[in-house]
Amino acid sequence: AQSVTQLGSHVSVSEGALVLLRCNYSSSVPPYLFWYVQYPNQGLQLLLKYTSAATLVKGINGFEAEFKKSETSFHLTKPSAHMSDAAEYFCAVMVRERDDKIIFGKGTRLHILP
């Protein structure tokens, strides 16, 4: 069975500081991994996706994530936080089978301090 653990339900960083949101996964087979973001009063938006190509994946809005098989991790980073990054972020896993369901983590709410 697949699962995702996000460390920290709330993370606060200062504007301009590094953003690091942690995600560890469990999967019996090589997974697809995702980060989604939900801005206030909006739906879920895909930030980036790992599908077995490059282990460092670049997404939208300056975010990137690195797949580390040895650590079963897929942490999300951004070098310099912006006020507009305040949102809730979800790490997710999908088994590499066609059309399988996505399993989400509990989410991490990112707060940006001025």
Q: What is the C-alpha separation between 98 and 70, in angstroms, rounded?
A: 25
Interaction between residue 44 and other proteins (CB under 8 A): yes
Interaction between residue 90 and other proteins (CB under 8 A): yes
Q: 42 or 70, CB closer to other proteins? A: 42
Beta strand pairing call for 108-113 and 10-14: parallel
List binders of other proteins among 50-89 (CB under 8 A): none
What tokens were used for 23? 């995600």
- Listing DSSP states for 70-95 in one string gives GGTEEEEEESS--GGG-EEEEEEEEE
User: Looking at this protein, which amino acid is placed at residue 109?
Assistant: R
Interaction between residue 104 and other proteins (CB under 8 A): yes
Interaction between residue 107 and other proteins (CB under 8 A): yes
Q: How far is the CB of 43 from other proteins (least distance, A)?
A: 4
Binding region for other proteins (CB under 8 A): 36, 42-46, 49, 90, 97-107
